[in-house]
Amino acid sequence: MSGLATARSEQAMKVVILAGGLGTRLAEETEVRPKPMVTVGGRPILWHIMKHYAQSGFSDFVVALGYRGEVIKRYFMDYADLNGRLTLSLKDRRIERHEAHPEAWRIDLVDTGLATATGGRLKRLGKVLDGEPFMMTYGDGVSNVDLQDLCAFHRGHGRLVTLTAVRPPARFGGLEFDGPQVVRFIEKPQIGEGWINGGFFVLEPDVLEYIDGDEVSFEREPLERLVRDGQVMAYRHEAFWQCMDTLRDKRMLDSMWDKGDAPWKTWI
């Protein structure tokens, strides 16, 4: 395959975003909205994730919906109308849009069940994915991972799965003393190597054959079987990654955005 053809293939790769979970640890926010619609800097974290992918040339999205999926549908149905100049003729209900939408995204919003696990959601998307390789991530984490380099890494090893391995920041800092006096706050050191699965996958379509049904979590039996079969490779990402699991995480991301210090903002 020529370099141009390869680039075109990668640009056309679909991006699956799992957006159907309950988000129970963010109950203060998720009683009325799904977790991917919890805002950072006034925009849903889902929007931040999609902006990152689109900036790298991946703008064909498949969003797997579950809990309060109608909130996500409504957001994107209204998105074009609420961003840009409109002229309304109230008499005949005519709407004139004056400029093209800045986001040239294609978004396939697919209901994948209320209680379906992550693997089940992927399995249900099989017909939408057309038997082609695809990218996949979760609707609650942001990063500045180089997505084009991730795809090149995946293409180079020929296995079924590439996951992005990350080293999350420690939750609590430490203290340095001089006797009883605190003289410095220090970052808590990592325990061992500290690598975890940070999402941002590239997957071959045969991965779906490892998933048996709705109740299967992709991260458990399917991924463990793929590891045993020697089909999982890790792309190590040393830079920024943060999952929004708790209200504390949300507040931290909000603060970073408000200060203009948001490493995941890879777009202009």
Q: pLDDT of 157-192, one tens digit each? A: 999 999 999 987 766 556 566 665 555 656 655 544
pLDDT of residue 268: 82
State phi, psi for 183 to the nearest 5 degrees: -110, -15
pLDDT of residue 176: 60
User: How does pLDDT run along the chain (268 residues), one tens digit per residue?
Assistant: 334 334 434 457 999 999 998 777 777 777 788 999 999 999 999 999 999 999 999 999 999 999 999 999 999 988 877 777 778 899 888 888 776 667 889 999 999 999 999 999 999 999 999 999 999 999 999 999 999 999 999 999 999 999 999 987 766 556 566 665 555 656 655 544 578 899 999 999 999 999 999 999 999 999 999 998 999 999 999 999 999 989 999 999 999 999 999 999 999 8
pLDDT of residue 207: 97
Distance in angstroms (rounded) separating the CA atoms of residues 233 and 57: 23
* Three-point CA angle 118, 119, 123, nearest 5°: 120
User: The tokens of 54 are what?
Assistant: 């689109």
Cα dist. 188→44, 75, 169, 175, 176 in Å?
A: 30, 39, 8, 9, 11
* Amino acid of residue 163: L
Three-state SS at 62: strand
Distance in angstroms (rounded) separating the CA atoms of residues 254 and 206: 38
Contacts of 160 (CB under 8 A, 6+ apart): 203, 204, 206, 207, 226, 231, 232
- Among 240, 219, 242, 238, smallest CA distance to 161 is for 219
CB 20 within 8 A of CB 113: yes
Residues 149-179 as b/e (b if ≥16 CB within 10 A, e otherwise) read ebbebbeeeeebbbbbbbbeeeeeeeeeeee
Distance in angstroms (rounded) separating the CA atoms of residues 190 and 169: 8
- Among 214, 221, 216, 222, smallest CA distance to 113 is for 214
CB 135 within 8 A of CB 14: yes
Mind listing the pLDDT tens digit for each residue in 63-81? 999 999 999 999 998 887 7
Cα dist. 20→23, 27, 53, 111, 217 in Å?
A: 9, 15, 19, 9, 13
Distance in angstroms (rounded) separating the CA atoms of residues 146 and 135: 13
Please give the model's pTM, rounded to 2 decimal places: 0.86
Task: Tell me the domains of the chain and their CATH numbers.
Answer: 3-163+197-258 (3.90.550.10)
| Strands (E) located in 39-172 | 39-40, 43-44, 60-65, 86-89, 94-97, 106-111, 134-138, 141-143, 161-166
CB 49 within 8 A of CB 17: yes
pLDDT of residue 266: 92
